[in-house]
């Protein structure tokens, strides 16, 4: 296996902490993201997971894909459970009831479990300043229950609860800016990431895990089933999301913005939207609307990162 | 001292590790005193001031899952808000200990005591125990740690104390010494505590082919916990001199009519029984202490040869046949060959008191209803027309 | 079943043959393969690895046939071929 060691994969930890045999759809961007995240995190973690795609596909009794300690309780309380785990470990170490070994508390949830039903618990945990890493795997809808809209669903997207019809273009609100909400809580590290940029994702996971205090990573997870595209395009779509400026990759360290990938010219949003069935119904005016918004938001971000 | 403070003292003596709680009347004094104890270093614990009761129970689950001794308290609406999380705690077998200052449920909003919050969580799978006075609140909270964390139990435990009547009333108390508690309470270890050295998966999902078996096993475990509960109370009695039982008797041995109460009304009922006994009536009282797992045998034994059993419910179950306690007692007695006529009353809702006189009226009226076999099942005592 | 339905064998999902799902499988052309490892990185299953001969290949026990490896391969060394 020595040849393995001199090529690019050597930059990745080899062990798979997220075992194959999980029930994710073909080409699932979220499963890939979780796999890469787990590689970066290693063994010394305790993971708490919200109800959602990843939780369901990875833990069908009597099987589990998890090779690290993992607990799932409910949909909206991931951050609260993480708070309890963090406090428990802290006090047990302090009282000498457990070995003083550094274990990172990691919370994983989808976009619904983060920006909708889980927002309260997350805001509370951030305000209390618990030392934990929160990862939001954003596939832009409630995918596990059958593609219903969430506040992370992009403008104009078709979901079963925001379908396109004679009177509707699909989702009629803009995607909730979760990283901005995280930054507003004054937490030490916030970043966006995408599995199409695996080394960037892994670097950010490492950086976030090294923070003492709350850290937040918002990871775009392309979903073939919900976004309606052939499974082989997952990585390409993630890249297009970044290259069109729809999902810029940036970090905010202690309030200071940094754009990780800037492009001299953004690709037109049409390149990204046209590949996905969930946007197929959009008339040109709406696409133009989206383009205008993306341009404006990107400029705002660039200003913050200047 | 106040009942609330006594409960806090119990948590302190038990050396709780994590306290995650949200304030709600009438439990506020419990969480305030706990915060004070932690701030002064009298209790070495992590105090998580969570942003809702749902998060309180969720944080408790997380803490218990890594092996921390966990305590919280709530009341009324708070208990309802954490409803779904309660099931998780019991189904994942995490021994979170919780004091509930029983409070009426909205609407209309009422901060005063009754059992409607308890009855709404009847089936959540927790061990549930009732205190009748502040001393018991202290004792039973201490016992709760011993019971819940016992390797043959591993269930969360609720200790119920009536809101305001118990939480805020001051009475003389006898607390235990730290050394006594240390002997009584072994350290808490969960067999599957989350630990990178022994990775486990908690909270996987079950398809139809597995779910029923899981629930059956859980139910069997809860029922068999009764043994440990009774034993723990025996041990506690040896240390403190105060013995507790699943069903307490008060002058019930030769009673013709029995009252049955749960919670602080038991004390008023005892006075009523004394007065009626002085008048020559053969009246007795059964006090239900262990609510879940329900003590079927003890109830059947306690009713003895009584002709009429008058049950007081402190909760109105809308549209139901009778109050919850009455229904369950009736169900427990149903298979018996010889059983008393069971008559149900509902009272004390929303903090309204029931006087000794009203208890005596219940006995008279109960006898009347039993003899006349009145169709109407439920009677609310102490209410205006 | 353990109490609380806790699963005590980490990663035992590996017993489940997700390979049964696929309708196409990836085939490597080792003349074109530059062993960059991108197929290994981007597989959502984590089932692409070096085989005993030192070449990248998908573990067909798990491979769902999503086609990401074929799509992303820099030298188009991987082709998706219909399953029989």
The CATH number that applies at residue A125 is: 3.40.50.970
Residue B64 has pLDDT above 60, yes or no: yes
Chain C touched by B93 (CB under 8 Å):
yes
Residues of chain B with pLDDT > 70, as a percent, come to 100
Give the model's pLDDT for residue A3.
Answer: 46
- Closest to A104 measured CA to CA, from A131, A77, A122: A131
For the segment B334-351, what is each residue's pLDDT rounded down to a tens digit? 999 999 999 999 999 999
C6 chain-B contacts, CB cut-off 8 A: 92, 192, 200-202
C1 chain-A contacts, CB cut-off 8 A: 61-62
Residue A4 has pLDDT above 60, yes or no: no
Buried-state track A3-38, b at ≥16 Cβ within 10 A, e below 16: ebeeeebeebeeebbbbbbbbbbbbbbbbbbbbbbb
Residue A226 belongs to a domain? yes
Average pLDDT over residues B146-168: 95
Give the model's pLDDT for residue B321.
Answer: 84
CB half-sphere exposure, A206, CA atoms < 13 A? 12
Strands B257-261 and B308-313: parallel
Q: From the CA of B62, how many Å to the nearest CA of chain A?
A: 4
Neighbour count for residue B296 (Cβ, 10 Å) = 17
C2 chain-B contacts, CB cut-off 8 A: 192
Tell if the CB–CB gap between B59 and A103 is shorter than 8 Å: no
- Cα distances (angstroms) measured from residue B155 to each of A254, B119, B145, B244, B326: 42, 19, 10, 20, 26
- Cα B117 to the chain's mean position, in Å? 11
For the segment C13-53, what is each residue's pLDDT rounded down to a tens digit? 999 999 999 999 999 999 999 988 999 999 999 999 999 99
Chain C touched by A12 (CB under 8 Å):
yes
Average pLDDT over residues A163-174: 94
CA–CA dist A58, A66 (Å, integer): 7
For residue C68, give the chain A residue with the closest CA: A232
For the segment A225-243, what is each residue's pLDDT rounded down to a tens digit? 999 999 999 999 999 999 9
DSSP output for A47-115: EEE-SSHHHHHH-BTT---BSS-EEE--SS-HHHHHHHHHHHHHHHHHTTSS-----EEEEEEEHIIII
- Contacting residues for B327 by C-beta, under 8 A, at least 6 apart: B317, B320, B321, B344
A80 chain-B contacts, CB cut-off 8 A: 50, 54-56, 58-59, 62
Give the model's pLDDT for residue A2.
Answer: 45
Q: B160, B118 in Cβ contact below 8 A?
A: yes
The pTM of the full predicted model, rounded to 2 decimals, is: 0.95
Tell if the CB–CB gap between A67 and C10 is shorter than 8 Å: yes
User: In this complex, which of A72, A77, A95 lies closest to B44 when CB atoms are compared?
Assistant: A95
Buried-state track A131-150, b at ≥16 Cβ within 10 A, e below 16: bbbbbbbbbbbbbbeebbbb
Give the model's pLDDT for residue B385.
Answer: 80
Tell if the CB–CB gap between B210 and C4 is shorter than 8 Å: no
Neighbour count for residue B177 (Cβ, 10 Å) = 10
What is the 8-class DSSP label of residue A248? -
B200 chain-A contacts, CB cut-off 8 A: 69-70
User: In this complex, which of C10, C40, C43 lies closest to A64 when CB atoms are compared?
Assistant: C10
Size of interface B-C (CB pairs under 8 A): 39
For residue A84, give the chain B residue with the closest CA: B59
Put residue B319 in one of left, alpha, beta given phi > 0 → left and psi -120 to 50 → alpha: left
Tell if the CB–CB gap between A62 and B210 is shorter than 8 Å: yes
C4 chain-B contacts, CB cut-off 8 A: 91-94, 154, 192, 202
Residue A5 belongs to a domain? no
User: In this complex, which of C1, C44, C62 lies closest to A32 when CB atoms are compared?
Assistant: C44
pLDDT band, very low/low/confident/very high, at A306 (cuts 50, 70, 90)? confident
Question: Rounded to a whole number, what is the largest CA-CA distance in chain C?
Answer: 54
HEC-encoded secondary structure of C31-51: CCCCCCCHHHHHCCCCCEEEC
Chain C touched by B191 (CB under 8 Å):
yes
Residue A250 belongs to a domain? yes
Domain range for A299 is 16-305
Chain B touched by C12 (CB under 8 Å):
no
Residue B137 has pLDDT above 90, yes or no: yes
Q: What are the contacts of A245-249 at 24+ separation with CB within 8 A?
A: A245/A269, A245/A294, A245/A295, A245/A297, A245/A298, A246/A154, A246/A272, A246/A294, A247/A192, A247/A194, A247/A220, A248/A192, A248/A298, A248/A301, A249/A191, A249/A192, A249/A193, A249/A194, A249/A197, A249/A200
**Domain extent listing, chain C:** 13-82
CA–CA dist A194, A179 (Å, integer): 14
CA–CA dist A274, A291 (Å, integer): 13
What is the 8-class DSSP label of residue B159? E
CA–CA dist B378, B381 (Å, integer): 10
Tell if the CB–CB gap between C5 and B154 is shorter than 8 Å: no
- Cα distances (angstroms) measured from residue B98 to each of B161, C38, C55: 11, 52, 58
Give the model's pLDDT for residue A8.
Answer: 65
Residue A8 belongs to a domain? no
Residue A150 belongs to a domain? yes
Whole-complex ipTM = 0.96
B191 chain-C contacts, CB cut-off 8 A: 3
Q: B333, B286 in Cβ contact below 8 A?
A: no
Write the burial class of residue B41 (CB in 10 Å: 0-12 exposed, 13-18 middle, 19+ buried). exposed
| Range C13-82 classified under CATH 3.40.1410.10 | no
Q: Which chains touch B (3 or more CB pairs under 8 A)?
A: A, C
Residue B156 has pLDDT above 80, yes or no: yes
Give the model's pLDDT for residue A1.
Answer: 41
Chain B touched by A126 (CB under 8 Å):
no
Put residue A170 in one of left, alpha, beta given phi > 0 → left and psi -120 to 50 → alpha: left
For residue B72, give the chain A residue with the closest CA: A84
Tell if the CB–CB gap between B61 and A124 is shorter than 8 Å: no
Q: From the CA of C33, how many Å to the nearest CA of chain B?
A: 37
In order of start, what are the domains of chain B with their CATH numbers? 3-240 (3.40.50.970), 247-380 (3.40.50.920)
Q: B128, B158 in Cβ contact below 8 A?
A: yes
Tell if the CB–CB gap between C37 and A4 is shorter than 8 Å: yes
Q: Which chains touch C (3 or more CB pairs under 8 A)?
A: A, B
Residue A258 belongs to a domain? yes
CA–CA dist B228, B241 (Å, integer): 19
User: In this complex, which of C4, C7, C8 lies closest to B92 when CB atoms are compared?
Assistant: C4
C22 chain-A contacts, CB cut-off 8 A: 26
Domain count, chain A: 1
Residue A214 belongs to a domain? yes
For residue C23, give the chain A residue with the closest CA: A26
Phi, psi angle pair for C58, to nearest 5°: -90, 140
pLDDT band, very low/low/confident/very high, at B378 (cuts 50, 70, 90)? confident
For residue C21, give the chain A residue with the closest CA: A26
Query: Mean pLDDT across chain A, nearest whole number?
Result: 95
pLDDT band, very low/low/confident/very high, at A7 (cuts 50, 70, 90)? low
């Amino acid at each position: 296996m020595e040849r393995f060691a001199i090529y690019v994969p050597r930059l990745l930890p080899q062990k798979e902490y997220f075992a194959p045999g999980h029930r994710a759809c073909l080409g699932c961007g979220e499963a890939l993201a979780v796999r890469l995240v787990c590689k970066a995190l290693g063994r010394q973690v305790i993971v708490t997971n919200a109800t959602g795609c990843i939780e369901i596909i990875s833990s069908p009794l009597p099987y589990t894909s998890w090779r690290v300690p993992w607990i799932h309780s409910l949909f909206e309380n991931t951050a609260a459970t993480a708070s309890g785990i963090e406090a428990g470990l802290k006090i047990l170490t302090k009282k000498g009831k457990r070995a003083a070994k550094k274990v990172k508390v990691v919370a994983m949830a989808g976009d619904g479990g983060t920006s909708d039903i889980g927002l309260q618990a997350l805001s509370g945990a951030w305000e209390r300043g618990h030392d934990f890493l929160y990862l939001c795997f954003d596939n832009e809808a409630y995918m596990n229950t059958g593609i219903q809209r969430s506040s992370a669903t992009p403008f104009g997207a078709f979901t079963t609860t925001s379908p396109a019809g004679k009177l509707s273009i699909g989702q009629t609100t803009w995607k909730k800016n979760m990283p901005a909400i995280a930054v507003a809580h004054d937490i030490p590290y916030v970043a966006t990431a995408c599995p199409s940029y695996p080394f960037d994702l892994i670097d950010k996971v490492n950086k976030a895990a090294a923070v003492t205090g709350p850290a937040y990573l918002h990871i775009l997870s392309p979903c073939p089933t919900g976004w309606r595209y052939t499974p082989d395009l997952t990585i390409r779509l993630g890249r297009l999301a970044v290259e069109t400026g729809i999902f810029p990759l940036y970090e905010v360290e202690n309030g200071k913005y940094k754009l990780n990938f800037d492009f001299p010219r953004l690709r037109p949003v049409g390149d990204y939207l046209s590949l996905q069935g969930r946007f197929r119904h959009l008339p040109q005016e709406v696409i133009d609307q989206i383009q205008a918004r993306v341009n404006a938001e990107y400029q705002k971000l660039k200003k913050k990162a200047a | 001292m106040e009942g609330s403070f006594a409960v806090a003292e119990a948590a302190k003596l038990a050396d709780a590790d994590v306290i995650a709680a949200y304030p709600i009347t009438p439990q506020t004094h419990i969480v305030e005193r706990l915060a004070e104890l932690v701030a002064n270093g009298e209790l070495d614990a992590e105090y998580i001031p969570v942003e809702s009761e749902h998060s309180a129970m969720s944080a408790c689950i997380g803490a218990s899952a890594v092996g921390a001794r966990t305590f919280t308290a709530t009341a009324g609406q708070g208990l309802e808000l954490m409803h779904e999380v309660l099931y998780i705690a019991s189904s994942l077998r995490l021994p979170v200990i919780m004091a509930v200052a029983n409070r009426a449920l909205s609407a209309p909003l009422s901060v005063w005591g009754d059992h409607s919050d308890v009855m709404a969580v009847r089936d959540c799978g927790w061990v549930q125990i009732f205190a009748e006075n502040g001393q018991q609140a202290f004792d039973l909270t201490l016992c709760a740690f011993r019971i819940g964390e016992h390797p043959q139990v591993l269930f969360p435990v609720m200790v119920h104390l009536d809101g305001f009547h118990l939480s805020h009333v001051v009475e003389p108390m006898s607390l235990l010494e730290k050394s006594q508690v240390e002997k009584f309470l072994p350290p808490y270890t969960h067999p599957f505590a989350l630990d990178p050295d022994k990775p486990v998966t908690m909270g996987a999902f079950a398809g139809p082919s597995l779910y029923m078996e899981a629930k059956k096993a859980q139910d069997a475990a809860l029922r068999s916990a009764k043994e440990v509960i009774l034993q723990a109370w025996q041990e506690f009695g040896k240390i403190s001199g105060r013995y507790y039982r699943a069903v307490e008797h008060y002058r019930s041995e030769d009673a013709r009519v029995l009252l049955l109460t749960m919670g602080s009304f038991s004390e008023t009922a005892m006075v009523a029984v004394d007065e009626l006994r002085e008048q020559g009536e053969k009246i007795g009282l059964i006090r239900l202490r262990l609510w879940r797992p329900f003590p079927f045998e003890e109830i059947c034994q306690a009713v003895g040869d009584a002709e009429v059993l008058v049950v007081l419910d402190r909760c109105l179950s809308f549209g139901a046949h009778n109050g919850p306690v009455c229904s369950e007692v009736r169900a427990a007695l149903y298979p018996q060959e010889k059983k008393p006529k069971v008559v149900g009353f509902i009272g004390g809702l929303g903090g309204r008191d029931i006087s000794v006189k009203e208890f005596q009226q219940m006995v008279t009226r109960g006898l009347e209803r039993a003899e006349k076999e009145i169709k109407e099942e439920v009677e609310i005592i102490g209410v205006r027309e | 079943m353990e109490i609380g339905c806790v699963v005590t064998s980490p990663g035992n999902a590996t017993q489940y043959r997700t390979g049964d799902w696929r309708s196409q499988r990836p085939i490597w052309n080792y003349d074109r393969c530059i062993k960059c490892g991108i197929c290994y990185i981007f597989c959502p299953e984590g089932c692409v690895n070096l085989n005993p001969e030192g070449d990248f290949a998908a573990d067909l026990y798990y491979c769902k046939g999503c086609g990401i490896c074929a799509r992303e391969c820099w030298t188009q060394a991987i082709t998706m071929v219909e399953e029989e």
